[in-house]
Every structure is written in C-alpha cells, then in structure tokens.
Structure 1
C-alpha cells in the first residue's frame, strides 16, 4: 500500500505541537492511530514504525512529545547526551500537559479527512506510558503499550508523582501490555504492580512478557530483536483489526 506523509502544527495550551502524519494514498477513511515515541521523538525507527502501520491501512499521527522544550522538528540522538536531554524533558513537563497533548492529537485525528474517527494508540518506552494515559480518553478503543516506563513508580512528569495507576478505572478500551523480562527500567515487581492494578480494576487487557531487553522493538542498536519485534507488530495489528473499524 502506497502511503503519504506530511505534518501539521497543532495548537495546545503549552504551544504548537508538531505532529507527523502518515496515511494510505488510496481514497478512503482509515482508523486513526496515535503513535507516541520514545524520549528521542521522531527518530528513524519511530518513522518506520509509523509507515508500517500506515501501510497496513491506518491513519497515523506522531506528536512531538517535548514540543515545549525542544525546537519544532528536533530529533534527539540515540546516545547518552540525547538520553540525558530527553530524560530531563520527561520530568520537566507537567502531567496535565501530556494529557492535553493526547487530547489534541485525538481531536485532530477525528477531524482529519483520512481518518474514519475510530481511534487507537501505540507507544514505546515513555510513549508506552503516554499511550496508557491516552486510553483514559473515552474515544480511544485500544492501546498497545511497549515496555511502558514509570507507571509502576508513579514517576512521570514534573514532580515525579503521576496518577496513572489511580486512573486505571477510566480506561474503557482494550489494552495490550508488552514487556521485556530483561528490561531494568521495569523489573518484575514493577510489572506485577501494573498487572495487579489492571486485574483489580477488571480492565480488558492482554499481557505479553518476552525474554528481551528494553528497546527490543527499535530496529537500531544492539538490543533489537527482529523476531520478537515482528511478532509484536503482528499482535498490535490483530488488536487494531479487532477493535477498530476498517476503511469507509
């Protein structure tokens, strides 16, 4: 499937947020997907992930998660300096600003001519946590969260005291949680905390743990596991095909 790419700068309470869009060229209206990136924003692996889902018949929007702190269009490098910069941004941004951004992208997808109005979300690392929180919006029917950091520690955002676990009852759509057992950022007891809370609140979710490191989905660097990445992408497609409507 041939795809097209562009970007828009969306208005948010904390300033313009560049949002990259990927969609099939073929006429039609396709289910919308919000893709939340790692702390490095729109890197090559994130753009390729967006193209992958667009090529499977989705209208994909990728917001810059640190638009308040970084120049529009900025991509942080996959090195220690880039990681340090992204982690500083992560704990400087207030939680309400993350939520405002998610709502802005959902609204944009619902108004985009390429989108059917049916919304899902996927996120990686911090993006997994942001996809988890985006699922608290009633419009979001499904969320795929890859090794979502900080949920178990309640440490996202300014003050490092987020309320994501408290707000689990607000998640109405289906969740898919994917983890690597060798991920030091979310150890076994942290994963157990998230699992217990989802179970306590009787949410609709699937749970996948692989023998993999943090960032196993990223097709750059030594932690990439192509076999597990491919399996995971097909799990996401199955989730979206089941929960989101097809082209209209």
Structure 2
C-alpha cells in the first residue's frame, strides 16, 4: 500500500508543542489509528521505517517526539554513547504526568483525524514500550504492542523514578502483546516474571512472547538487529491490530485499479 510519510503536526500539550510525525496510506479512506512511541533516541530512521511498515498495512500512525520539552523540534538523537546518555538523562528528567499527557494528546488527535476510523491502538519500543503500556490505560485503546518495555519492573520511569505502572494494570481494558528478548539485560528474568505475575493477577487480556534475542533486536540498525525475529514480531503486531481495530474503509477509484 502506497503511503504518505512526510507529514507532521505540532500538538498542544501542557508542557508545550509536541512535534508528531504522521504516516498514513495515500489511498482515500479511513483507517485505524496507531500511536507509536519511539526509543530514547526519538524518531530516528528505524522508527520511521517501523511507522512506514504499519502505515503500509493500513493504519494512520502518529509518532511523537517524546522529549519535545527539551530538544528542538525535529531532533533525533544518534545511536551512540552521547545519544544514549542524553536520552537516558531526559528519561528521568521528564515527569510521568507529562508522558501521560502526551499520550492523551496523540490519542485525541488520532481519534479525530479525518483519515481515521477512531479505532485506536498503540505500539512502543524500549522506553516507548513502557509509554505504550501506560497509554493502554486510556479508555478506547483496544490493542497495544510493547517491545521489551523498560523500567516497568523497577518502577523507575520519569522524574523521581517512582512510577505506578504496575499498580494501574487493572485500568488496561484492551489486549496487550508483550514481546521480550531473553538476553536483554535491561529486563532480566526476575523483572519479566514480576510483570507477568502482575498481569495475571489483574486478569489482563494479553499475549506474552519471549525470544532468544538481545535488547533492540527489532531495530534495523546496529549489531543486535535480528531480521527474522523482527519480521515474526511485526506479524504478531499486525495480526493483533487487524483483529482488534478492523481493516478500515478504503475508497478505491476506477483509475487506481489500473496501477
């Protein structure tokens, strides 16, 4: 499916305008919406390609810059030690309340987007996995994919490093897809078991998949990339979104059928 991938909007939030990148099918019609949360490096090439993959499967995708209060609009941090240091510094500078407000702003934008059906899903990677986990607590979020979500088990997201994500699991009403790498030092077995037990105790509707892979194994840049597993995982996510959000309403003209 041909997509449009150069749009952006600056959404108002309590902490200032948030640059949000929009990827969507080019064909006229209405499609389900997906909020895509990035890694600590913001909207990099690999994140844009993930967004394009989702859009090409028939979704309107909005990827916000998670550190919009601290970095100029359009900033993507480099995949190097300096970029990692800056991203990790900001991770615990920004408040959990500000992260949550950002999620609500993007979900409201997607719900009212003229190319959206109003059916909403979320996806997140690394810190974005944790942000997606929290975004799933919003009413109307039907399906959420979390790739190796960091810091849930440690309760260490945001300023003060004392988040309440585990406590709020009962607020998640949609379906979760939790994906982990068994060789990921950021979320060891003890941490994964803690999250799994909390989901079970809350009666959450969720899938749980662990792979023999390192942290960042779906990022198509760098030595930890595992393309075979990445393809499998994207397949799981797209199946979830198609099943829970629907296909959308695509308007195909006679002229388009000849291309």
State how far apart, in whole Å, the 2-side matches of 1:114 and 1:38 are.
Answer: 26
Shift of 1:245: 2.0
TM-score, length-normalised on structure 1? 0.99
State how far apart, in whole Å, the 2-side matches of 1:57 and 1:246 are.
Answer: 7
Larger Rg: 2
State how far apart, in whole Å, the 2-side matches of 1:206 and 1:23 are.
Answer: 27
Q: What residue ranges of structure 2 are gaps of 5+ in the alignment?
A: 250-259
- The number of residue pairs the alignment matches comes to 248
2:254: which partner in 1?
A: none
2:16: which partner in 1?
A: 15
1:127: which partner in 2?
A: 128
Give the root-mean-square deviation of aligned CA atoms. 0.5
1:243: which partner in 2?
A: 244
Tell me, yes or no, if structure 1 residue 218 matches structure 2 residue 194.
no
State how far apart, in whole Å, the 2-side matches of 1:114 and 1:49 are.
Answer: 19
1:157: which partner in 2?
A: 158
State how far apart, in whole Å, the 1-side matches of 2:116 and 2:246 are.
Answer: 11
Shift of 1:246: 1.7
Q: What residue ranges of structure 1 are gaps of 5+ in the alignment?
A: none
Counting only pairs closer than 5 Å after superposition, residues 71-220 of structure 1 correspond to structure 2 as: 71-220=72-221
- The alignment partner of 2:166 has SS state of coil
2:4: which partner in 1?
A: 4
Shift of 1:47: 0.2
Runs of 4+ in 1 over 4 A off after TM superposition: none
Shift of 1:111: 1.1
2:45: which partner in 1?
A: 44
State how far apart, in whole Å, the 2-side matches of 1:52 and 1:246 are.
Answer: 15
1:66: which partner in 2?
A: 67
State how far apart, in whole Å, the 2-side matches of 1:207 and 1:110 are.
Answer: 28
- The alignment partner of 1:127 has SS state of helix
Shift of 1:114: 1.1
Shift of 1:87: 0.4
- The alignment partner of 2:92 has SS state of helix
- The alignment partner of 2:192 has SS state of helix
